[in-house]
Amino acid sequence: MLLSLGMILIGFILLTYGADLLVKGAGRLALLVGISPLVVGLTVVAFGTSAPEAAVSLKSALIGKVGITVGNVVGSNIFNTFVVLGVASLIAPLVVHAQVIRKEVPLLVGASFLLLVLSLDGVISRWDGVLLFVLIVAYTWWSIHSSRRESSDVSDEYGQRFGEEHDHSIPDEVPGLKQTGPKAVFLNLFLLCVGIGMLIFGSNMLVNGAVAIAEFFGVSDLIIGLTIVSIGTSLPELATSIMAGIRGERDIAVGNAVGSSLFNILAVLGLSGLASPSGVPVASSTLHVDLPVMIFSALACLPVFLTSHKISRGEGVAFILYYCIYIAYLILDAAASPHLFLFIQLVLYIVVPLTVIFAAYLLIKGIRQHRRGEYTLKR
């Protein structure tokens, strides 16, 4: 018991410091190589923080226990949208970059629907895996290429934010961060890699400690898998987005959550499909419940992002409540609770209508703000 508590404590410490190093290294690397912080968040940071999901899913596929592979990815994506963005917005409202609204969120919605279509036959085959992996390679190349074309704008942005005289964004306690040239690039790349490593080890220790405590108190393996493991593999995303919000790198906070979800679908499931000789089976419950919830979580971003270009604290609370409802359903379903039918009815007749009303309110509010802006410009 004491050992498990110690593992949880060490895991949290590693997650905290690992996320801090990752954000520092990624933010400064973006400046040095002329790539925007948003693209770094969507690619390098997102891929790094998705390492636990990749490790769990690939290991499951390689040893033949492929049943948890899709569930891990789908559960992590739901967590990324509802909890990572929700909690990060409670620290400070997250301003959403126009590129995320125009490109990344529609891509995430499209990738989610593509996964649903590929799963209709009950398996993600090797050819499905090839398709998904080719798409993530193309997306990564396109993101970096587009950002490098806008490098002059990025330099102006960072010049205004950091300035040559008052470079407060570079912590004095980390030696060498004020260097320029190849040495600085390698130093920040090293910090980024160390941060990713600390996140991976920290999440593993925390999950193992939590599982041991849950087993000590007699909680079933199914409940542990539905909650602790899927949440645990997403802890790096949560820690990184929180730290990015605290340090003012909100582009990285939003880009990390959206980019990680894209990486989970396209890269993690793509590689898992390639690694598994018979493909990755998709359970019926995943097809009919979890995948639609994942698609809903991606679609839920659109009215929020489109209307105000930010995630307010109130919207963050709503995202967290959605996740609590989803977890409550999983627990009731796993326990074969007699209250499950009543719970589903409450969701269908109360939560869904309230969601529609809230989305309509956001859209009307956004249209009015847009018209007011046009009227002001005309005057």
Which residues, in sequence order, are CB contacts of 180 under 8 Å at separation 6+? 32
pLDDT at 308: 63
8 lies in some domain? yes
Please state, in angstroms and rounded to a whole number, the distance separating the CA atoms of residues 243 and 100: 20
133 lies in some domain? yes
98 lies in some domain? yes
Tell me how many domains the chain contains. 1
350 lies in some domain? no
Give the mean pLDDT of the chain.
77
Kindly report the pTM of this predicted structure: 0.75
345 lies in some domain? no
pLDDT at 232: 76
pLDDT in tens, 271-321: 888 888 788 888 888 889 999 999 999 988 877 766 667 788 888 899 999
Q: Domain range spanning residue 30?
A: 2-164+174-337
Position 156 pLDDT exceeds 60: no
pLDDT in tens, 317-340: 999 999 999 999 988 887 888 999
Residue 141, judged by CB atoms within 10 A of its CB (0-12, 13-18, 19+), counts as exposed
pLDDT in tens, 66-120: 666 787 788 889 998 999 889 888 887 777 766 666 678 889 999 999 999 999 9
Question: Residue 109's domain is classified under what CATH number?
Answer: 1.20.1420.30
375 lies in some domain? no
Q: Cα–chain-centroid distance for residue 263?
A: 9
Q: What does the H/E/C string look like for 231-266?
A: HHCCHHHHHHHHHHHHCCCHHHHHHHHHHHHHHHHH
363 lies in some domain? no
326 lies in some domain? yes
Provide the strand spans (E) within the chain: 94-95, 123-124, 280-281, 310-311
